[in-house]
């Protein structure tokens, strides 16, 4: 698979099989993803790969915390988000809802609990950054995530970036013995897609270039 094929065909997977991801395969994905650019090559990311039974134990801890705290998925904005962005979010939810209902669940339950269960993926990359880095260095972490999902696709794996877990980073740090000086930025679930799951039929639409590109000639 070449890079353009990966860009054009990958999608976020929200139902994985139980098939394990070999450590050697995960290592190759991460090695390729580590070629992502970063300011003056600081590579400010730290990745904790959680696999197999340990991933399941972590999910049980997170779901318990969810039932106690009920922090749910959302944009986390500090001020009202312009309507054009919210319309895209609603369009996405409306597209997934009937597929999730076919699976016997509802959208909010599936997305919230599914996020904290990493949609059943056998492996998850928890991506941290040291607290000494300023917020603008998180763009480097974003570049890493982009490379990671494309590298995974090239190696035959499905992925889903999941942000909700960052709201439960205290539980994650405690469970995995990670210092408080490390901030969880995002997670990426990795595994093999459940081809029979209706939710995996969904492919999110993209805005027309005219909506977000300004040409200056």
Which tens digit of pLDDT belongs to each residue from 138-184?
Answer: 999 999 999 999 999 999 999 999 999 999 999 999 999 999 999 99
Question: For 3-71+81-198, CATH number?
Answer: 3.40.109.10
Backbone angles phi, psi at 93, to 5 degrees: -60, -40
Bridge partners (DSSP) of residue 129 are: 45, 183
Query: Is the pTM above the cut of 0.85?
Result: yes
Q: Say which residues have a Cβ less than 8 Å from residue 205's Cβ, sequence separation at least 6.
A: 88, 91, 92, 95
Q: Taking 70 as the threshold, does the pLDDT of residue 77 lie above it?
A: no
User: So where are the chain's domains?
Assistant: 3-71+81-198
pLDDT at position 2: 87
Give the pLDDT band of residue 76 (cuts 50, 70, 90).
Answer: low
Token readout for 76 is: 């986390």
Helices (H), the chain: 3-9, 23-33, 52-69, 83-102, 107-116, 138-154, 169-176
Instruction: Specify the pLDDT at position 155.
Output: 96
Q: What are the structure tokens assigned to 7, written together?
A: 């860009």
pLDDT digits (tens, 9 = 90+) for 37-61: 999 999 999 999 999 999 999 999 9
| SS3 assignment, position 74 | coil
Structure tokens at 146: 């982009």
Q: Cα–Cα distances in Å, from 119 out to 41, 114, 143?
A: 33, 5, 23
């Amino acid at each position: 698979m070449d890079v353009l094929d990966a860009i054009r065909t990958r999608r976020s997977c929200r139902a994985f099989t139980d098939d394990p991801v070999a450590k050697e395969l995960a290592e190759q994905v991460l090695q390729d993803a580590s070629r992502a650019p970063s300011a003056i090559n600081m590579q400010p990311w730290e990745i904790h790969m959680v696999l197999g039974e340990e991933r399941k134990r972590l999910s049980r801890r997170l779901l318990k915390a969810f039932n106690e705290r009920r922090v749910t998925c959302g944009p986390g904005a500090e001020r009202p988000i312009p309507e054009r962005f919210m319309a895209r979010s609603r369009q996405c939810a409306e597209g997934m809802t009937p597929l999730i209902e076919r699976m016997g669940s509802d959208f909010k339950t599936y997305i919230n609990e599914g996020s904290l269960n990493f949609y059943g993926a056998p492996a998850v990359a928890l991506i941290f950054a040291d607290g000494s880095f300023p917020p603008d260095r998180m763009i480097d972490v974003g570049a890493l995530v982009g490379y990671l999902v494309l590298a995974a696709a090239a190696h035959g794996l499905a992925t889903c970036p999941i942000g909700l877990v960052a709201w439960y980073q205290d539980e994650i740090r405690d469970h995995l013995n990670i210092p408080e000086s490390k901030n969880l930025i995002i997670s990426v679930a990795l595994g093999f897609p459940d081809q029979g799951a209706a939710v995996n039929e969904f492919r999110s639409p993209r805005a027309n270039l005219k909506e977000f590109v300004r040409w200056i000639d």
